[in-house]
Amino acid sequence: MSDDLKKGLEGVLVAESELSSIDGDAGRLIYRGYTIEDLARGASYEEVLYLLWHGHLPTEDELEPFTDALLAEREVDDDVLATMERLADADEQPMAALRTAVSMFSASEPEDDADPGDLEATLRKGRRITAKIPTALAAFERYRLGEEPVDPNPDLGLAANFLYMLTGEEPDEIAAETFDQALILHADHGLNASTFTSMVIGSTMADIYSAVTGGISALSGPLHGGANQDVMEVLIEIDESDLDHREWVEQATEEGRRIPGFGHRVYNVKDPRAKILQERSKELAENGEDKWYNYTTTIEQYLSEEKGLTEKGIAPNVDFYSGSVYYQLGIPIDMYTPIFAMSRAGGWIAHVLEYQEDNRLIRPRARYTGPQDQEFVPLEDR
């Protein structure tokens, strides 16, 4: 057994997976062999869920019942809605509200007595979680605005339906397609912190509600989720500044400020997901306000070319463009990370199911660095 210390488990292989693969040097991401570009531009989020959960892209005859099953599970219990209202009134953080909602979903689980090793039952539970998360999140936001929740629309796909429940208006085609793409791009990304957390929980054979709740908790940390919110806050700061956006980024870097959305633990080149969202941001700009797209492209050009960050392996990641895309879709800034969770839940579920097929309890060890041979002193003599 090796005594080499790998802080953060960096470079440590802990599992084999057929779900996703990342080439950080080439800027390549695939889900079960399909490039992220092909999936984002040619498939729906529901098709990608099917791919992750069942191992192949669905035919039309397979997709219809799969989508219908998701549609049938969108409603959430009145107790969940009441809790979302109380949390909104208490000014709770959206990620904390989502964590609570997913925990509550299990109270109405019709297969709560299923054997932990019944992976088909686990998949059905995961489907219910995935279908209900958008409803609970949208309801929470509506309550924060002092408005009543909007019931799910059975005629809309998962992405378009979420935007509809959030605003009360059906999104146009560009908005719906853009958000659907964003969900696809975030669906899976190897053994990141939240996915590994879900796998660790799943390895104990805890239920899938516990695993997804754990994933949400890990994603809520600022070192994992939240960078796209930081990016958008910087863009708003630029917009409210008296400086031209080019001047702003020059001054900020001279002052030593770090611009969020650059650099990635895995990618040494531009994140392929960022390239796709940059295209969507441009399309949204052409049909609306273009300043956010102009800000991001100017920052990228300055930092990449003039500051040479790309040569140092520091390039835009998916968060750099997702923040402004979500903002252009009218999504509140503090809902960005919960949306990340809404998408990534599909990946968490897939990884738990895959790992449990040949399960072994995940149990690493730590190198002890504490004192040795301490002399015990009874309480009365200390």
Catalytic residues, which ones? Answer: 264, 319
* Three-state DSSP state, 23: strand
* Three-state DSSP state, 328: helix
- Alpha-carbon distance 131 to 75, whole Å? 8
**DSSP 8-class letter at 316:** B
- Alpha-carbon distance 292 to 245, whole Å? 10
- Alpha-carbon distance 192 to 19, whole Å? 13
Burial label, 349 (beta-carbon count in 10 A; 0-12, 13-18, 19+):
buried
- Reported as type and span, the H/E element at residue 35 is strand 34-35
- Alpha-carbon distance 215 to 149, whole Å? 26
- Alpha-carbon distance 345 to 162, whole Å? 15
* Three-state DSSP state, 115: coil
- Alpha-carbon distance 213 to 341, whole Å? 10
